[in-house]
Amino acid sequence: MNKETTQTVKELLACPQKIVVVGHKNPDGDAIGSCLGLSHFLKQFGHEVSVIMPNDFPEFLKWLPGVDSIKIYEKQKDETAQLIEAANVIFTLDFNTLERVGEMCELFKSATAKFVMIDHHQQPDNYAVATYSDVSMSSTCEMVYHFINAVQESDTITEEIAINLYTGIMTDTGSFRFSSTSPTTHRVAAKLIEAGAQSAIINQNVYDNNSPDRMRLLGVALNNLVILPEMNTAYITLTQKELDDNNFKKGDTEGFVNYALSIKGVLFAVIFIENKNEDMVKISFRSKGQFSVNEFARNHFSGGGHNNAAGGKSSQDLNKTVNDFISILPRYKNQLTNAL
Ligand code: 5GP
Ligand code: MN
């Protein structure tokens, strides 16, 4: 974090404040871990801190230290609206445009608080008085670690902070596999382990917590896998009925798209998930190497993210969405066949 941003943040936090810390809609391990890690840090200095998420999040994160204090906008609309209205400072973590919080966005647009953004996604909006944006970072959790060191000028990290930040780094790097994992990421992870994050236990809590329903749904997803060898592309579809038949719960499809990407020769993998409640199809894009799924999602599916991991959506039905996707692909044939 640069000197100017550090100075602005230090001034903002110089006396106790009413603070709201918020993550993006459909929060993942990095969003929850970074918000909780930061909130544990801020509470040490007498700030009144509330962590708010736009909607619910997966069971496999519901053991994190402090998780019970999280308020969910969709379930506690009045209470969260009051907290946002009363806040002096709002930290927005792991997203770069206010639209990423969904309906809650309106509350932020009318808020009087000063905003601080900590985020590693591409092309950040300019709504914050302090923007700590770095697209080379593995995760927002790694950035919160650097943020803490910058503002407190020491590396004292409590166990609660360490567990939350380690979890987000681990999940956002695919367990230290993705190319965003730098030597510094490993150094930060080592510091967090020294501070009390037990890697084996965190891995078990996150990854060995599958329900039989999720495993059956994975079977359905793999059965639906389509490979387009001439495009080095693979995609998976899941209909609302398939989700319902397997008692779908939030987070159950997390990581499914990586199975498509793990196929030899596949550089571009996509999962299309029908959501009849919201009348849309949620799409996750993943790639290996140079092919930018951020660009692809931005250009064609109202989304965005990172070079190798992005999301998007379509308001067309599932079949039409997939057909549109297939018809767009030939434009990228050169990139997809020369990417490795
Ligand atoms: P996922 O596919 O796991 O939902 O998201 C992959 C990455 O893209 C995450 O970093 C996520 O924050 C980002 N992302 C997902 N959906 C969207 C979207 O609609 N817009 C933008 N800008 N980013 C997204
Ligand atoms: Mn992230």
Which of these, 206, 156, 180, 214, lies nearest to 307 by C-alpha position?
Answer: 180
User: Which residues make beta-bridge pairs with 93?
Assistant: 118
**What region does 218 belong to: left with phi over 0, alpha with psi -120 to 50, or beta?**
alpha
Residue 70's pLDDT is 98
Q: CATH number of the domain at 145, please.
A: 3.90.1640.10
CB 319, CB 327: distance < 8 Å: no
Q: What's the pTM?
A: 0.91
C-alpha 200, offset from chain centre: 22
Edge-to-edge strands, sheet with 304-305: 226-228, 233-238, 268-275, 280-287, 309-314, 304-305
Pair (216, 145) in one structural domain:
no
pLDDT of residue 155: 63
**Residue 45's pLDDT is what?**
92
* Two tokens, residue 199: 């890697």
Rg of the chain over Cα atoms, rounded to whole angstroms, equals 20
Same domain, 129 and 188: yes
Q: pLDDT value at position 60?
A: 94
| One domain for residues 96 and 187 | yes
Residue 326 Cα to ligand 2 midpoint, Å, equals 28
Is 135 found in the same domain as 224? no
Whether residue 246 sits in one domain with residue 172: no
Domain count for the chain, please give it.
2
The verdict on 26 and 157 lying in the same domain is yes
23 lines ligand 1 (CB under 6 A): no
Q: Kindly state whether residues 50 and 186 are assigned to the same domain.
A: yes
Assign residue 217 the CATH number of its domain: 3.10.310.30
> Token pair 């078990």 is at which residue?
204
Q: How much is the pLDDT for 71?
A: 98
From 207, 242, 270, give the residue that closes a domain.
Answer: 207
For the chain, strand residue ranges (E) read: 18-22, 48-53, 71-72, 89-93, 114-119, 130-133, 226-228, 233-238, 268-275, 280-287, 304-305, 309-314
Q: Digits of tens for pLDDT over the chain (340 positions)?
A: 999 999 999 999 999 999 999 999 999 999 999 999 999 999 999 999 999 999 999 999 999 999 999 999 999 999 999 999 999 999 999 999 999 999 999 999 999 999 999 999 988 999 999 999 999 999 999 999 999 999 986 667 999 999 999 999 999 999 999 889 999 999 999 999 999 999 999 999 999 999 999 999 999 999 999 999 999 999 999 999 999 999 999 889 999 999 999 999 999 999 999 999 999 999 999 999 999 999 999 999 999 998 999 999 999 999 999 999 999 999 999 999 986 5
| Whether 10 and 74 share a structural domain | yes
CA 226 to centroid of ligand 1, rounded, Å: 22
Bridge partners (DSSP) listed for residue 235 = 226, 270
Count other Cβ atoms within 10 Å, centred on residue 20: 28
- Cα gap 34→146, rounded to integer Å: 12
* Amino acid letter for position 308: N
Those residues whose C-beta lies under 8 Å from the C-beta of residue 212, and which sit 6 or more positions away, are: none
Residue 331 is encoded by which pair of tokens? 């434009």
Same domain, 228 and 324: yes
Q: Are residues 25 and 67 in the same domain?
A: yes
Ligand nearest to the CA of 139: 2
Picking from 155, 180, 207, the residue at the C-terminal end of a domain is: 207
CA atoms of 56 and 311, how far apart (whole Å): 18
- Same domain? For 199 and 50 the reply is yes
| Atom from ligand 1 closest to the CA of residue 97 | 22
pLDDT score for 338: 80
Domain containing 8 equals 3-207
DSSP string for residues in 71-129: EETTT-HHHHHHHHHH-SEEEEES-SSGGGGGGGHHHHHT--SEEEEEE-SSS--S--S
Q: Is 146 exposed, middle or buried (CB count within 10 Å of its CB: 0-12, 13-18, 19+)? A: middle
Mutational test site, ligand 1, from 32, 100, 119, 308, max ligand atoms within 8 Å of CB: 100
310 and 168 belong to one structural domain: no
The answer to whether the CB of 304 is under 6 A from ligand 1 is yes
pLDDT at position 156: 78
Q: Which of 207, 231, 248 is the last residue of a domain?
A: 207
From the CA of 91, how far away is ligand 2's center (Å)?
15
